Amino acid sequence: VFQVHCDIKWHIQNRDSSVVNKFQKKFWKTKQTLIKVTGKKEDEHVVASDADLDAKLEVFHSIQRTCMELLKVIEQYQRRICFLSQEENELGRFLRFQGSQDKSRAGKIMQATGKALCFSSQQRLALRKPLCRLYQEIETFRYRAISDTWLTVNRMEQSRTEYRGALLWMKDVSQELDPDTHKQMEKFRKVQAQVRTTKSSFDKLKNDVCQKVDLLGASRCNLLSHILTTYQTTLLHFWGKTSHTMAAIHESFKGCQHKEVSTVKVRAFFHEEKNYRQKIKNMMIKALHGAKGLAFLQEQRPPVLLNGKLSVLYFILFMFLFFYSAT
């Protein structure tokens, strides 16, 4: 009976102490969590000893952020390519139509240019394919690699809180420590064991995080360089093709319009426009003073912006822009 009694007593004591122990662990962990959440200053040495880890976390967050940004940019870029292609196509069709109306040499040029523009607008869309691919790959990268690393980071943070909590506890019991006092030593050993276990799990996760972030960075570089090569090839191919077409047009109409449509003429055109606006303004003022002005206005119809003239201007501007950007 005595034996049983002792056993029960021992059992209860043991259970009590394990409950107390559990409670204490929770207490220090919560304390650390509170310190972290409230942004209270943490032990500078403890923080400093995690400097390498924190630097890696910074890299991780930057990868996370820039991947998001890249996705947004790709989406926008793609949309703009579509818009540009549409506009280009419309301009091409416009030139072709206007060119067919104009029986002069300029009409032919416009038709050829319009055709080239329509071709270019179609070719431009080819860029969308590698971009789509890039988008998908990055999306997958985010869902798989980043979220996996994120899980590890979270686990590490949990373990870091536990470890730092244990350090707080150890600091607390270290205030009054005497190796010759059995009771204090017993308590210290308990805390030491807690620090040891939490430290080893934290160190392991810390290592995991550092390795994963390194790997993440490297694999993203790999991914980008791989897919951007396709994009680059497509882009160069597109540029090559269109510039070839444009150069051919330029070549075939060489000399003929050079004299007719020079920059001087363009300038003169603008000058005329400006003068005309000024004239209108003046006339409006005059018109306010009497019908005479109004008659004058009718008489002096401005040189109608001839379809041909306008188109030639378009053409020159476009060619100019094109060659400018191609070089």
Partner 1 sequence: MAYAYLFKYIIIGDTGVGKSCLLLQFTDKRFQPVHDLTIGVEFGARMITIDGKQIKLQIWDTAGQESFRSITRSYYRGAAGALLVYDITRRDTFNHLTTWLEDARQHSNSNMVIMLIGNKSDLESRREVKKEEGEAFAREHGLIFMETSAKTASNVEEAFINTAKEIYEKIQEGVFDINNEANGIKIGPQHPTTNSPLSTSQGGQHAGGGCC
- Applying CB under 8 A, the residues found at the interface with partner 1 are 43, 45-46, 48-50, 167, 170-171, 174-175, 177, 179-180, 185, 188, 191-192, 195-196, 199
Shortest approach of partner 1 to residue 12 CB, angstroms? 28
Shortest approach of partner 1 to residue 174 CB, angstroms? 5
And the tokens for 321?
Answer: 């822009």
Shortest approach of partner 1 to residue 188 CB, angstroms? 8
CA distance 102 to 113: 14
CA distance 145 to 28: 33
* Residue type present at position 108: K
Residues contacting 173, CB < 8 A, separation 6+: 184, 187, 188, 191
Pick between residue 170 and residue 280 the one whose CB is nearest to partner 1: 170
Residues contacting 226, CB < 8 A, separation 6+: none
CA end-to-end span of the chain: 102
Pick between residue 140 and residue 174 the one whose CB is nearest to partner 1: 174
Pick between residue 196 and residue 244 the one whose CB is nearest to partner 1: 196
Upper half-sphere CA count for residue 113 (Cβ side, 13 Å)? 26
Pick between residue 206 and residue 220 the one whose CB is nearest to partner 1: 206
CA distance 163 to 156: 10
Shortest approach of partner 1 to residue 66 CB, angstroms? 31
Pick between residue 177 and residue 326 the one whose CB is nearest to partner 1: 177
Shortest approach of partner 1 to residue 127 CB, angstroms? 52
